[in-house]
Amino acid sequence: MRTKRLFTALAFSLALLPVAAQQNVGFRAARVQSPVVNADNTVTFRISAPKARTVMVMGDWENEPRAALTEGKDGVWEYTTPKPLPSEMYTYRFMVDNVMMLDPVNAFTRRDVGNVFSTFYVGGGNGDYYKVRDVPHGNVTQTYYHSDAVGQDRRMTVYTPACYNKNDGKKYPVLYLLHGSGGDETAWPELGLVAHVMDNLLAEGKIEPMIVVMPNGNIVKTAAPGETSENHDYKPMMSNQIEGNYKNGIYETAFPEIISFVEKNYRVKADKNSRAIAGLSMGGFHTLFTSLNYPEKFGYIGLFSAGLNLTGLDMTLPAYNDIDGKLSNLKKKGYKLFWVACGNADGLFQANKDLCKRMDNQDMKYEFVETSRGHIWANWRQYLLTFSQRLFK
């Protein structure tokens, strides 16, 4: 972020409001600026911590996820990345004397599973698709569908493109986009920056206008942590840690409930070639088995670093049995695109190659995209950028 405005507490507000009554009103003079994306796309981090003995920064950029800051004058610690960072949306935290914390002068944060991170953008490439541009913006809605399978109203996030609001009767294709373990219906909108990506690709004419449906994939939970009637008692955790939740086949089997809700409540093209399904990690697992069990539903299938390690999976469950037979059936029913992407540093790389081998054995068409790095949002955002441009054309 190239800071163009100084952030100063003005006398007006202090005069207007008694200090004692507004201790949590959130303005303050930032004594340091952090992070600063420099002209060469190196990034400088600073924190005022005069009493600290060690300060580290940990971020999700490559090669140097942990680096020590150096103390300068007035107790302000500083670190600049030795190399420019590639264009991306990054997350980071500080560790001050072994206590993990956000950057106190950066108000931009994202939660990823159970941790909250400070964020920044580096522009000039993919990152420019993750930013807001002055283009028409679609709607983002949190809504609820009723699941008969579990007897509950369950939350989902729905993106509709700007042109949808013309209310001209036009119908749209739908991408069902599934989150990973530990995620929920807020993961793709918040960390995948779906609305920005779709708005920007559409404004450039690179994608067909489409609706993106982001349901909650934790079938025993109605919504994200904090948005269920457990409120703060439901701590964010990996999905396999949620009792009764993981790999039981219920979510994949009940998936048509989601499609029915969407097709009833939105102006949607309701044919196979107007439906795509894709998911990251656990969502890739859900994508595979949902499309195998409903081979007539989806013309486009996308696996993003899919959680295809089948160790421990109950292969006797109808949702998961007879993978090869179901692949054969999918081939027979036909599809437009079966797209598999994985980072070559991802522990799931081989499991995804193994699926491709199964498809090779049946002469099934698919595309395999190998990228660098591992099980990270930078890859998933990039996969969405690429995959969405292949849909509905």
Question: Helix/strand/coil (H, E, C) string of 260-318?
Answer: HHHHHHCCECCCHHHEEEEEECHHHHHHHHHHHHCCCCCCEEEEECCCCCCCCCCCCCC
> Which one, of 35, 38, 90, 83, lies nearest residue 60 by Cα?
90
Q: Is 126 in the site for a second copy (CB under 8 A)?
A: no
CA distances from 44 to 50, 84, 362 (A): 18, 11, 52
CA distance 329 to 228: 38
For 166, phi then psi, to 5°, come to -65, -20
Nearer to a second copy, 25 or 68 (CB): 25
Distance of CA 46 to the CA centre of its chain: 27
Q: Is 13 in the site for a second copy (CB under 8 A)?
A: yes
Stretch 342-361: interaction string toward a second copy, x if CB under 8 A: -x-xxxx-------------
CA distances from 126 to 129, 272, 295 (A): 6, 30, 33
Nearer to a second copy, 39 or 99 (CB): 99
Which positions ≥6 away from 244 have C-beta within 8 Å?
220
Q: Is 366 in the site for a second copy (CB under 8 A)?
A: no
Q: Output the smallest distance, CB 337 to a second copy, in A.
A: 26
The H or E element containing residue 91 is strand 88-96
Q: Output the smallest distance, CB 271 to a second copy, in A.
A: 22
Number of residues that bind a second copy (CB under 8 A): 106
Q: Which of residues 217-236 bind a second copy (CB under 8 A)?
A: 223, 225-229, 231-236
Among 38, 68, 72, 107, binds a second copy (CB under 8 A): 107
Q: Output the smallest distance, CB 228 to a second copy, in A.
A: 6
Among 43, 45, 46, 49, binds a second copy (CB under 8 A): 49
Q: Output the smallest distance, CB 309 to a second copy, in A.
A: 6
CA distance 288 to 197: 24
Tell the residue number behind the tokens 């995209």, with chain if given: 369
Q: Which of residues 267-306 bind a second copy (CB under 8 A)?
A: none
Contact status, residue 345 vs residue 373, Cβ threshold 8 Å = yes
Q: Is 125 in the site for a second copy (CB under 8 A)?
A: no
Q: Is 307 in the site for a second copy (CB under 8 A)?
A: yes
Applying CB under 8 A, the span of 9-17, 207-215, 267-275, 361-369 interacting with a second copy comes to 9-17
Applying CB under 8 A, the span of 161-169, 202-210, 325-333, 381-389 interacting with a second copy comes to 161-169
Q: Is 182 in the site for a second copy (CB under 8 A)?
A: yes
